[in-house]
């Protein structure tokens, strides 16, 4: 269904509002339709065969339709995996099973009495072609080194629950029949997703964001439901202005919290860098600036003197052995 775009440069748009993020899609998702197309002869020819042949053809078509659905789900899971810096591998290898079912469906549809080997070869070829067309499932976790698995699971559960609150807001605002309000809620959702991504990439930020992705989103959903019911009956302009002002306040606070979490991560990085430099200094390891000064020393003429040059750098204490 066509939808009106409500971005920042649209009539009545707010210059401060972000454009809603596009849905995550896999580049190969459009190829899935060819699985159904390849299975269509089984469906069309089933009604011109004997009962046993009709059953096998319909079963072959159903198996390949299921294979196409699993393959699409697997591609969507892979796209979500690729879009995140920290991600677990999909719990279920959907593309792998989709390939197996594709081969099984092709083999069953091609089976004829006395031609079992030929049907088996066709099935194997179909499974191999499926693997070549769509590739394997992600089989390893990404960016999980040093990440608490239990904490990551908590983040995933809370983000999933928070997304249900957002979906409730979108469902409720549909009752108003106002495309502009729908676009406004979608812009707020884009801001919330920025916070989701920050927490997913750094699960340690969950404690600081818990109130936002829990209590505040529940309140936003409940307010949206009440506004949609009231506005659908009264079409009161003041009520609409109050609701849009609420969305503005919520969006400003969510964006500010996201920036604070990002800035906190940068501060932690600066502290880690400084601690590491201090430890290196205590171990007597020359800093990059001092090493460069040693190599550029005019007093160093031979290789031995180059290696001993840090002992002559101004400010270094100690004597040569």
Residue-wise pLDDT for 160-194, tens only, equals 899 999 999 999 999 988 899 999 999 999 999 98
Residue-wise pLDDT for 233-260, tens only, equals 888 889 999 999 999 999 999 999 998 8
135 or 279: whose pLDDT is higher?
135
Whether the predicted pLDDT of 92 surpasses 80: yes
pLDDT confidence of residue 100: 94
pLDDT confidence of residue 298: 54
Query: Does residue 61 fall inside a structural domain?
Result: yes
Residue-wise pLDDT for 142-156, tens only, equals 766 655 566 777 888
**What CA–CA distance (Å, rounded) separates 67 from 192?**
34
225 or 139: whose pLDDT is higher?
225
> Does residue 43 sit in the same domain as residue 106?
yes
Domain boundary among 134, 159, 190: 134
Which residue, among 177, 274, 195, 185, has the nearest Cα to 232 in the 3D structure? 177
Per the structure, the complete domain to which residue 97 belongs is given by 29-134
Residue-wise pLDDT for 184-222, tens only, equals 999 999 999 989 888 888 887 888 888 888 889 999 999
pLDDT confidence of residue 128: 94
Residues 6 or more apart whose CB falls under 8 angstroms from that of 30 comprise none
Query: Does residue 251 fall inside a structural domain?
Result: yes
Query: Does residue 234 fall inside a structural domain?
Result: yes
Q: For all residues of the chain together, what is the average pLDDT?
A: 79
pLDDT confidence of residue 319: 47
> Does residue 103 sit in the same domain as residue 186?
no
Judge if pTM exceeds 0.75. no
> Does residue 114 sit in the same domain as residue 180?
no
Residue-wise pLDDT for 287-321, tens only, equals 555 555 544 555 545 555 555 555 544 544 544 44
> Does residue 200 sit in the same domain as residue 232?
yes
Report the 10 Å Cβ neighbour count for 285: 11
Residue-wise pLDDT for 8-37, tens only, equals 555 555 545 555 555 667 788 888 888 888
> Does residue 203 sit in the same domain as residue 298?
no
Residues 6 or more apart whose CB falls under 8 angstroms from that of 261 comprise 195, 198, 199, 202, 205, 208, 209
Q: Are 251 and 191 in contact (CB under 8 A)?
A: yes
> Does residue 154 sit in the same domain as residue 38?
no
Instruction: Report the interhelical angle of 94-110 vs 33-45 (nearest 10°).
Output: 30
pLDDT confidence of residue 208: 83
What does the pLDDT average to over 101-119? 89
Reported as a pLDDT band with limits 50, 70 and 90, residue 50 is confident
């Amino acid at each position: 269904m066509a939808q009106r775009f409500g971005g920042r440069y649209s009539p009545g748009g707010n210059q401060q509002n972000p454009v809603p993020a596009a849905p995550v899609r896999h580049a190969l998702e459009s190829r899935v339709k060819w699985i159904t197309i390849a299975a269509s002869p089984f469906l069309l020819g089933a009604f011109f065969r004997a009962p046993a042949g009709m059953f096998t053809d319909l079963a072959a078509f159903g198996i390949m339709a299921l294979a196409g659905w699993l393959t699409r789900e697997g591609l969507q899971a892979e796209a979500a995996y690729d879009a995140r810096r920290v991600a677990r591998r999909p719990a279920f290898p959907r593309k792998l099973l989709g390939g197996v079912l594709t081969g099984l469906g092709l083999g069953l549809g091609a089976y004829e009495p006395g031609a079992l080997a030929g049907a088996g070869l066709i099935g194997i070829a179909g499974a191999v072609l499926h693997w070549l067309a769509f590739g394997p499932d992600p089989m390893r976790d990404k960016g999980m080194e040093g990440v608490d698995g239990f904490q990551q699971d908590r983040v995933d559960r809370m983000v999933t629950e928070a997304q249900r609150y957002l979906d409730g807001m979108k469902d409720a605002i549909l009752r108003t029949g106002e495309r502009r309000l729908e676009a406004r809620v979608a812009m707020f959702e884009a801001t919330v997703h920025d916070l989701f991504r920050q927490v997913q990439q750094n699960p340690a930020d969950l404690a600081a964001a818990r109130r936002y992705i829990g209590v505040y989103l529940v309140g936003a959903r409940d307010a949206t439901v009440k506004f949609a019911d009231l506005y659908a009956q009264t079409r009161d302009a003041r009520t609409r202005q109050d609701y849009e002002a609420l969305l503005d306040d919520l969006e400003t606070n969510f964006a500010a919290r996201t920036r604070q979490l990002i800035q906190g991560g940068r501060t932690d990085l600066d502290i880690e860098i400084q601690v590491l430099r201090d430890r290196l200094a205590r171990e007597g390891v020359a800093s990059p600036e001092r090493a460069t000064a040693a190599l550029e020393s005019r007093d160093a003429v031979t290789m031995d003197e180059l290696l001993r040059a840090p002992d002559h750098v101004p400010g270094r204490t100690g004597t040569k052995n």
